[in-house]
């Protein structure tokens, strides 16, 4: 590895789904690594056996894969083998490394054995609370002599880090220099009595031995960074550069709760959003482009333009309207082939018989909807009428376009235009409709909207001439005649 090689990592705890905040941290690390030609590492902090579940591991990795965040080094996952020369990449498989490094700290006097029982620690905490002091370890075992330690025999002990005097400075790329007086820390535990490493030791050992060059993470870890810098120094590892970015807030300005819909990145997949949209949107939750006001980015553009110096200190609020706008923009960027491939599974799932239609027809159908749909899921409402004749008509639309004294005339004029159209395509239909409207003194909007309602049962959908072309002349005329019969049968109800 080159001395200046960029190595970034995401180290989620697989105790749930891929949270949007974790996705943001992963994205910033990934974009930075990609923009610098460096390596991106996926590491799983799965030492907490009670909270780790393999289905969460799978869900988390599925989230990364859906977003398109690939890793250069990481654990075995599904059909992906473990890869990278600094493994294993699961903390549960690295316990011996943590014990070895903790033993080294003990040997060098930078850590010590603490024999205090849980009851003793709790008593110290209660006394501190009674005296209105922050709960701190009293240092009771800090200066035990070798004889006193030997006298403890096989008594269980934890290992505490011996916090040095002075101050610790975290030189943060986003926050600037952050100073911690070491008196603010008590001698914190780094190994539990059962021999398992605490998070602080494990994460520093992992980052140190994996030669991580930049630690980019949420600013909720900023207070931990003081402890971590001390441990890096005590263990003799080169100090990585830190960048603590703000957390994602919900639309009310609170931390994005795990209970909220959308906290799980895969919720957005279920809701019909594109991964390209999520990547673009999450990037904007704390990063700004040098081009003022620019918000639409492709993945390749982000990989080229991303830089840590453009990350902001202040937390960004989730903005659903902006997300929806971006999703529409990304849908418009797809080719008809790409859009078709993405919507067909959704249409199948909703019972639409897409497999009975030729590919060329399906491509035209996707293209007809491309400018209209805000999410992929909207494709169902914009296309179901191609497969199922409307049995009813939207109430509001029927009152507006079927209940007017001229409504039967509009439908009859449209039927005549359809029958006489020289070709059955967009341009021929458009020309015939405009000529018929002019000749009959009918507003083109009334003719178009009444026809759309008759053909689809709806007032909103793809462009009329495109959808009529896709339905075919015979089917379109049949539906118009059914609508005319409906108007004549329900004239009284429609006008109430």
| Secondary structure of the chain as H, E, C letters | CCCCCCEEEECCCCCCCCEHHHHHHHHHHHHHHHHCCCEEEECECCCCCCCCCHHHHHHHHHHHHHHCCCCCEECCECCECCECCCCCCEHHHCHHHHHHHHHHHHHCCCEEEECCCHHHHHHHHHHHHHCCCCCCCCCCCCCCCHHHHHHCCCCCCEEEECCCCCEEEEEECCCEEEEEEHHHCCCCEEECCCCCECHHHHHHHHHHHCCCCEEEEEHHHHHHHHHHHHHHHHHCCCCCEEEEECCEECCCCCECCCCCCCCEHHHHHHCCCCHHHHHHHHHCCCECCCCCCCCCCCHHHHHHHCCHHHECCCCEECCHHHHHHHHHHHHHHCCHHHHHHHHHHHHHHCCCCHHHCCHHHHHHHHHHHCCCCCCHHHHHHHHHHHHCCCCCCCHHHHHHHCCCCCHHHHHHHHHHHHHHCCCCCHHHHHHHHHHHHHHHCCCHHHHHHHHHHHHHCCCCCCCHHHHHHHHCHHHHHHHHHHHHHHHHHCHHHHCC
The answer to whether residue 121 sits within a structural domain is yes
Question: What is the pLDDT at residue 496?
Answer: 65
The answer to whether residue 218 sits within a structural domain is yes
**Cα–Cα dist 241/239, whole Å:** 7
Question: What is the pLDDT at residue 410?
Answer: 97
Of residues 208, 243, 172, the one with CA closest to residue 24: 243
Task: Write down the pTM of the prediction.
Answer: 0.90
The angle at the Cα of 491, spanning 490 to 495, to the nearest 5 degrees, equals: 115
Contacts for 165 with CB less than 8 Å, ≥ 6 apart:
182
Range of the domain at 167: 94-245
The answer to whether residue 52 sits within a structural domain is no
Token digits for 428? 């021929």
Token digits for 226? 């003081």
Question: What is the pLDDT at residue 14?
Answer: 84
**Cα–Cα dist 193/113, whole Å:** 10
The angle at the Cα of 259, spanning 257 to 262, to the nearest 5 degrees, equals: 80
CATH number of the domain bearing residue 179: 3.40.50.620
The answer to whether residue 385 sits within a structural domain is no
DSSP bridge partners of 245: 218
The answer to whether residue 137 sits within a structural domain is yes
Write down which residue in 213, 245, 277 finishes a domain.
245
Could you tell me if 84 and 44 are in contact, meaning their C-beta atoms sit under 8 angstroms apart?
Answer: no
**Cα–Cα dist 453/271, whole Å:** 27
Question: What is the pLDDT at residue 259?
Answer: 87
Residue 256 Cα distances to 14, 19, 154, angstroms: 18, 9, 46
Write down which residue in 204, 230, 245 finishes a domain.
245
DSSP bridge partners of 180: 168
Question: What is the pLDDT at residue 390?
Answer: 95
Burial class (CB in 10 A: 0-12, 13-18, 19+), 33: buried
Could you tell me if 384 and 455 are in contact, meaning their C-beta atoms sit under 8 angstroms apart?
Answer: no
> What's the structural domain count of the chain?
2
Question: Which residue in the block uniquely carries the two structure tokens 């590895």?
Answer: 1
The answer to whether residue 6 sits within a structural domain is no
Tell me which residues are annotated as active site. Answer: 258
The answer to whether residue 466 sits within a structural domain is yes
CATH number of the domain bearing residue 408: 1.10.10.350
Write down which residue in 226, 245, 264 finishes a domain.
245
pLDDT tens digits in sequence order for the chain, 496 residues long: 555 799 999 999 888 889 999 999 999 999 999 999 999 999 999 877 666 678 888 888 899 999 999 999 999 887 789 999 999 999 999 999 999 999 999 999 999 999 998 888 888 888 877 887 888 888 889 999 999 989 999 999 999 999 999 999 999 999 999 999 999 899 999 999 999 999 999 999 999 999 999 999 999 999 999 999 999 999 999 999 999 999 998 888 888 888 889 889 999 999 999 999 999 999 999 999 888 889 999 999 999 999 999 999 988 888 999 999 999 999 999 999 999 999 999 999 999 999 999 999 999 999 999 999 999 999 999 999 999 999 999 999 999 999 999 999 999 999 999 999 999 999 999 999 999 999 999 999 999 999 999 999 999 999 999 999 999 999 999 999 999 999 998 876 777 6
| Number of residues that this document lists for the chain | 496
The answer to whether residue 88 sits within a structural domain is no
């Amino acid at each position: 590895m080159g001395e200046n090689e960029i190595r970034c990592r995401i180290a989620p705890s697989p105790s749930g789904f891929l949270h949007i905040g974790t996705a943001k941290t992963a994205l910033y690390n990934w974009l930075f690594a990609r923009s610098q030609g460096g390596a991106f590492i996926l590491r799983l902090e799965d030492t907490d056996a009670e909270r780790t579940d393999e289905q969460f591991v799978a869900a988390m990795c599925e989230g990364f894969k859906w977003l398109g965040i690939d890793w250069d080094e990481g654990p075995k996952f599904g059909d992906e083998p473990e890869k990278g020369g600094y493994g294993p990449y699961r903390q549960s498989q690295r316990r011996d490394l943590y014990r070895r490094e903790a033993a080294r700290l003990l040997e060098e006097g930078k850590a010590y054995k603490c024999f205090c029982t849980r009851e003793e620690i709790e008593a110290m905490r209660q006394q501190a609370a009674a005296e209105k002091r922050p709960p701190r370890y009293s240092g009771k075992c800090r200066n035990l002599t070798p004889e006193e330690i030997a006298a403890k025999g096989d008594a269980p002990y934890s290992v505490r880090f011996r916090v040095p005097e002075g101050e610790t400075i975290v030189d943060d790329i986003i926050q600037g220099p952050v100073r911690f007086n070491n008196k603010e820390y008590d001698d914190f535990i780094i190994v539990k009595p059962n021999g398992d490493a605490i998070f602080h030791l494990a994460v520093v050992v992992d980052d140190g031995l994996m030669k991580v060059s930049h630690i980019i993470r949420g600013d909720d870890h900023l207070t931990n960074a003081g402890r971590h810098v001390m441990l890096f120094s005590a263990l003799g590892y080169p100090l990585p550069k830190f960048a603590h970015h703000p957390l994602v807030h919900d639309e009310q300005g609170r931390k994005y709760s795990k209970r909220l819909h959308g906290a799980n990145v895969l919720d957005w997949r279920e809701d019909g959003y594109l991964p390209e949209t999520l990547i673009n949107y999450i990037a904007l939750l704390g990063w700004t482009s040098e081009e003022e006001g620019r918000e639409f980015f492709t993945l390749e553009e982000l990989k080229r333009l991303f830089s840590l110096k453009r990350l902001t200190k202040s937390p960004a609020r989730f903005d659903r309207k902006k997300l929806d706008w971006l999703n529409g923009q990304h849908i418009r960027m797809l080719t008809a082939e790409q859009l078709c491939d993405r919507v067909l599974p959704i249409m199948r799932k909703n019972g639409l018989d897409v497999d009975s239609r030729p590919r060329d027809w399906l491509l035209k159908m996707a293209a007809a909807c491309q400018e209209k749909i805000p999410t992929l899921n909207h494709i169902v409402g914009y296309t179901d009428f191609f497969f199922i004749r409307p049995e009813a008509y939207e109430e509001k639309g029927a009152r507006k376009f079927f209940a007017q004294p001229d409504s039967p005339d509009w439908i009859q004029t449209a039927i005549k235009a359809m029958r006489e159209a020289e070709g059955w395509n967009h341009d021929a239909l458009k020309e015939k409709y405009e000529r018929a409207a002019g000749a009959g003194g009918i507003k083109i909007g009334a003719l178009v909207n009444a026809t759309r309602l008759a053909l689809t049962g709806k007032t909103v959908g793809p462009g009329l001439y495109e959808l009529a072309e896709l339905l075919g002349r015979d089917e379109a005329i049949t539906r118009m005649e059914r609508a005319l019969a409906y108007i004549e049968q329900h004239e009284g109800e429609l006008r109430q």
